[in-house]
A and B are shown apart, each in its own frame.
Chain A
Amino acid sequence: MLLGLDVPPISHLVRWENLFGTDGPFGINKVVLLTWLAVIIVLVFFFSARKRQLVPSGTQNFAEAIVDFIRNDIILQTMGSEGLYWTPFLLTLFAFIFVCNIFEIIPAIQMPVTARMAIPFFMTMIVYFIYHFMGIKHQGVGGYFKSMLFPPGVPKALYALVTPIEFITYFFTRPLSLAVRLFANLLAGHLLLVTFSILTAALFSATYIGAIVPGSLLVALYGFEVLVAVLQAFIFTILTAVYIGGAMHPEH
């Protein structure tokens, strides 16, 4: 109970019943179905844009705009032209995260898949292994750890301080913050929308006129959540690009 409102506990807002009589770790619930739906949407979108025409129209136009955005605003800004090899990976990541995020505000679905830790965690694990693998591949095991743990240009005595910090940063803070950033942003957005919906509903049933203020704020928050969905997909993708680019080319 909060201000006389009946706000459900957080576990009720993001946890869903298993469907189709499945159970245990392979149980299928709403979030799993939405994940599959996101995969299908991304696949259908890019396959329908494959019919190349000289003068693009419709789907192809939109798809080309997204590819252009990934190329120019993410890869060329952070990794340089060598990073263009990673365009398909980053494009998939961006499109998938965006579709997962935008489920938050689609009526009748209203559940961001990325507000459950599993999806951000799994994507972060992929990114984590890729950037360490690319670092070792490009610099060798010794060279990678040397440039990671003993950055050049630091006074010798400071290594006692810098090396542990760098170690924690590369192995714990980076993957943790990458996953938690996406997860917490979407969870917070979901909770915000739920809170305002409950407030609006309660005020509407009590005093019709009183629901105007929280109701119009709710509409504004929907717009804000569109922004958050795009921004978080963008930030996850650009940080992936920065991490991979940094592993490939250490700062001199």
Chain B
Amino acid sequence: MHHLLMLAAQDPGELQKGLTAVGRGIVYGGAAIGPGIGIGIVVGNAITAMARQPEAAGVARTTMFLGIAFTEALALFGFVLAFIISG
């Protein structure tokens, strides 16, 4: 740890670059957790609905895409935010 701090004192730009990269990773990784679970729930339930009532598969599919779109938006915000963060 002491060694790292010494290195950072010598070249603060490198430390900042590294920490920015870590921050980007955390932002995108964190943003992907919730939507990942959410899309799983949406698609799983849509498949259950389609299997139970194949004649309503069209409606279920449209609604499923809508649900995916709404859920996915959060992950995409994280993706864009990860690029916006700059050191």
Contact = CB atoms under 8 A, between A and B. Distances in A.
A73 interface: yes
Contact of B65 (A183, A185, A188, A238): A238
B59 interface: yes
B69 to A, nearest CB: 5
Q: How large is the interface on A (under 10, 10 to 19, 20 to 34, 35 or more residues)?
A: 10 to 19
Interface residues of B, number: 14
A180 B65 contact: no
Interface in B51-87: 58-59, 62, 65-66, 69-70, 72-73, 76-77, 79-80, 83
A10 B83 contact: yes
B55 to A, nearest CB: 15
A188 B62 contact: no
Contacts, number: 40
Contact of B76 (A10, A185, A234): A185
Contacts of B83: 10
A136 interface: no
Contact of A239 (B58, B69, B77): B69
Nearest to B61: A73
A78 to B, nearest CB: 7
B66 A242 contact: yes
Contact of B62 (A10, A78, A177, A180): A78
Interface of A: 10, 73, 77-78, 177, 180-181, 183-185, 187-188, 231, 234-235, 238-239, 242
